[in-house]
Amino acid sequence: MNGETPLQLLLDFYDRVLIVLARPVVQRQLVAFLLLSFAAWFVPFLLERLWRHRQRGQAVTEVDGSWQGRLLRLARGIEYTFFPILGLVFSEIAIALFQSQGWRTGLLEALRPVFWLLLLYRIIAGALFFILSDQRARRYTGRFLFPLLILAVFVLVNNLIGDTLGLGDIPLFNLFGASITLRSLATSVIVLYFFLVFAWIVRDSLSRALFNRRPDTDKGLANSVVVSTYYGIIALGILTAVSTIGFDLSTLTIVLGGLSVGISFGLQELVANFISGILLVFEQSLRPGDVIQVAGHAGTVDKLRLRSTVLKT
């Protein structure tokens, strides 16, 4: 790879992909995987359509909190797992058929974990909808579980084609003497994402524990704990992600020096708002529930953050 630009390396990778896809052994396994995936999706779809046709005209209600509603949601959760389970079954059948014909099955075996990931995702999602309210379950699924599934599939595919064709080792650019590759960049993004999700979960759990379950808690102190914990986890995540990407933390002094120049020119208002937010959070001169007047408009303080304050008018 010495002397080659990232564009040339990407073009070489593209050529290698075309060469691999032109092989009949690869085409045969890809077609088989697409067909079994379609069959695994179509069978539950057909069964659901038949069930709805039989239930036409009958009132089926789902009441939150009742045992009938929980049983109905449990049944729907079990139905939710049919697609990945059938995908695993059809994968085993396809692999057995290929082996009986003396054909290679390496690609089919490498793609089989996709159905395991999807099955795990749907089991956890079904458990969330069974345990939590629909609103909280949708929030946890949309913000955490589904992006986690996408990242897991990305890592699986990257390991499959990256190790074989060298995609992950392609250098993209240099940053302060560190060569940033696609693998290191993806790893850094994944690490930062996990810290962001963890910070959001901790903030949500602390808010419910301090504000909802303990009404007598000092709201100012509780808000200080929640905000400081949230941003502390994010700061730790940023440092960890930067370190993972191969960036030397000792060079942060250079970056901070450059930022100080930028602050002196155009970021005074942003930094002033951030510092004011820190003072409001920790001095507790303003607390959630206080009634204040801003620019002639009165409102109740809803949330105190480092960058902004949310008012209800």
pLDDT attached to residue 251: 60
Query: Could you identify the residue written with the tokens 């650019």?
Result: 173
Chain-centroid distance of CA 16 in Å reads 30
Cβ atoms of residues 211 and 184 within 8 Å:
no
Asked if pLDDT for residue 244 goes beyond 90, the answer is no
pTM of the predicted model over 0.85: no
Residue 172 φ then ψ, to 5° = -95, -50
Ranges of each domain in the chain: 15-153
Q: Specify the higher pLDDT residue, 242 or 219.
A: 242
Asked if pLDDT for residue 312 goes beyond 60, the answer is yes
The region of weakest confidence among 6-10, 66-70, 140-144 is 66-70
Q: H or E segment at 186?
A: helix 182-207
pLDDT attached to residue 60: 46
Asked if pLDDT for residue 188 goes beyond 90, the answer is no
Band the pLDDT of 93: cuts 50, 70, 90: very high
> Which residues does 114 contact at the CB level (< 8 Å), separation at least 6?
87, 153, 156
- Strand partners for 309: 304
Q: What is the mean pLDDT of the chain?
A: 74
Q: What is the pLDDT of residues 128-168, one digit of tens each?
A: 877 777 787 788 888 788 888 888 887 777 777 665 556 66
- Strand partners for 294: 297
Angle at 127 between CA 109 and CA 138, to 5 degrees: 100
Cβ atoms of residues 134 and 125 within 8 Å:
no
Asked if pLDDT for residue 2 goes beyond 60, the answer is no
pLDDT attached to residue 29: 92
The region of weakest confidence among 63-72, 82-91, 221-230 is 63-72
Band the pLDDT of 248: cuts 50, 70, 90: low
Highest mean pLDDT among 98-107, 218-227, 268-277 belongs to 98-107
Q: Using alpha carbons, select from 205, 219, 227, 213 the residue that is nearest to residue 279.
A: 227
